[in-house]
Amino acid sequence: MAKVSDIKQEDIIKSAIEVFSQKGFEQASMEGISKQAGVSKRTLYKYYPNKDALFEVIVDKLICRFDDHAASQFEPSVAIEQQLAELTLKQLCYLNSPDFQVIARMVMVECIRCPKASSVLMSKFDGIEDCYGLHQWVQAGIEANCLAVEDITMAVNQYVGGIKALVFWPQLLGHQAPPSNEDVAKVVTQAAKGFIATYQVSR
83 located within any domain? yes
The list of the chain residues with pLDDT below 50 reads 1-2, 128-130
- Residue 24 confidence (pLDDT): 79
- Residue 125 confidence (pLDDT): 60
140 located within any domain? yes
- Residue 114 confidence (pLDDT): 76
pLDDT in tens, 176-187: 888 999 999 999
107 located within any domain? yes
16 located within any domain? no
Q: What does the DSSP assignment read for the chain?
A: ---HHHHHHHHHHHHHHHHHHHH-TTT--HHHHHHHHT--HHHHHHH-SSHHHHHHHHHHHHHHHHH--------TTS-HHHHHHHHHHHHTGGGG-HHHHHHHHHHHHHHHH-HHHHHHHHHHHHT-SSGGGHHHHHHHHHHTTSB--S-HHHHHHHHHHHHHHHHTHHHHHHTPPPPPHHHHHHHHHHHHHHHHHHHBPP-
Is the pTM for the entire model greater than 0.85? no
The CATH number linked to 168 is: 1.10.357.10
Q: How many domains does the chain have?
A: 1
168 located within any domain? yes
- Residue 129 confidence (pLDDT): 43
43 located within any domain? no
For residues 113 and 103, what is the distance between their CA atoms, to the nearest angstrom? Answer: 16
- Tell me which residue range forms the domain holding 103: 50-199
26 located within any domain? no
99 located within any domain? yes
